[in-house]
Amino acid sequence: MVGRWLKTSKSWSNSSTKNSVTETLNRRKSCRSFLDCKLPDGLILDLIDKARRTPTAGNSQGVEFLVLDEKSLVEDFWRVSFSEKDKSTFSFPGLLRAPVLVIPFGVPSRYIERYKENDKNYTNLGENTKEWKVPYWLTDAAFATMALQLLAIENQLETCFIGLFDREERIKETFSIPKTYEALGVLILGYPDTEQVTVGGSQKRKRRPLSEVVHLGAWQPPL
Ligand SMILES: Cc1cc2nc3c(=O)[nH]c(=O)nc-3n(C[C@H](O)[C@H](O)[C@H](O)COP(=O)(O)O)c2cc1C
């Protein structure tokens, strides 16, 4: 295993095909400036329905989505998120114009119940959430959210995923979300404002080289 070459081949995938996974991933980047322009009726539900085909642990299906797709609801979200002062100095005002916000939630109780069942109880994961080294409800929510981003891009939308940090509890209260549900973050979606592109500080960071992030067979040099 030591010293294997890292080789990639463009010929393995049809990267040039429009809307292929490769092309869509290449086009994906966080958008922080949106047009004040609604999505076609039914589009977001259709995309979420497709996105939820991603795998879930034990087929627990414990991922749910809060969709805020009306102006007043989106405004409520930002009002609860920021004080007026923070809003007025916010670096990405164009982010607040996005017409749709989707908050994916993991539902731990669905995983606990599922892992109590006969075929899974050998794992002891049906005991309580503390037994879970990896909280699969958030893993599954992240899978679905990534799929939703790619589907959105395929439909000429752009997206930005951001964390909720200490806003989570206030948001849960405002939108009557059950206390035990865990938010992954918020996916902001809409049509990009191509005349007012804003780049976040994080986006200026270079992508790490493949050779640094892939370890063929073992870490080199050995730890
Ligand atoms: C878990 C997670 C949390 C993020 N939180 C924020 C955030 O709070 N604010 C923000 O502007 N971008 C946030 N981002 C977007 C990242 O900054 C962005 O994905 C990264 O800089 C790479 O840029 P790209 O998405 O354009 O490739 C977050 C992304 C992820 C995956």
DSSP 77-104: HHHHHS-HHHHHT-S-GGGGG-SEEEEE
Which atom of ligand 1 is least distant from the CA of 32?
A: 11
Q: Is residue 8 pLDDT above 70, yes or no?
A: no
Q: What are phi and psi of 102, to 5 degrees?
A: -125, 125
Of 4-18, 24-38, 75-89, 188-202, give the lowest mean pLDDT range.
Answer: 4-18
Among 154, 48, 24, CA closest to 103: 48
Q: Is 73 exposed, middle or buried (0-12, 13-18, 19+ CB in 10 A)?
A: middle
Mutate to test the pocket of ligand 1, among 160, 184, 189 (most ligand atoms within 8 A of CB): 160
pLDDT at site 221: 72
Mean pLDDT of the chain: 92
| Mean pLDDT across 89-99 | 93
CATH 3.40.109.10 correct for 29-213: yes
pLDDT for the residue 82: 85
Q: Which residues line ligand 1 (CB under 6 A)?
A: 29-30, 161-163, 185, 200, 202-203
Please state the atom number of ligand 1 nearest to the C-alpha of residue 205: 21
| Cβ pair 187, 148 in contact under 8 A | yes
Give domain limits for the chain.
Answer: 29-213
SS3 at position 34: strand
Q: What is the pLDDT of residue 26?
A: 94
CA of 162 to the centre of ligand 1 (A): 6
Q: State the pLDDT at residue 86.
A: 81
Q: Which residue has the higher pLDDT, 93 or 221?
A: 93
pLDDT confidence bin for 1, thresholds 50/70/90? very low
- The residue contributing the CA closest to ligand 1 atom 4 is 162
User: 3-state DSSP call for residue 128?
Assistant: coil
Q: How many residues does the chain have?
A: 223
Does residue 50 register a pLDDT over 50? Answer: yes
> Ligand 1 center to residue 132 CA distance, Å?
26
Instruction: Note the pLDDT tens digit of each residue in 133-180.
Output: 999 999 999 999 999 999 999 999 999 999 999 999 999 999 999 999
What's the pLDDT at 163?
96
Residue of the nearest CA to atom 12 in ligand 1?
A: 162
For residue 156, what pLDDT is reported? 96
Q: In angstroms, rounded to a whole number, what is the distance separating the alpha carbons of residues 47 and 149?
A: 9
**How much distance in Å is there from the Cα of 164 to the middle of ligand 1?**
12
pLDDT at 32: 95
Among 190, 186, 194, which residue's Cα sits nearest to residue 39?
A: 190
CA–CA gap between residue 49 and residue 64 (Å, rounded): 11
| Nearest CA among 18, 13, 28, 31 for reference residue 198 | 31
Question: Minimal CA–CA distance to 108: which of 92, 85, 131?
Answer: 131
Examine the pLDDT at 131 and tell me if it is beyond 80.
yes
Going from the Cα of 26 to the center of ligand 1, the distance in angstroms, rounded, reads 16
The confidence band for 16, taking pLDDT boundaries of 50, 70 and 90, is low
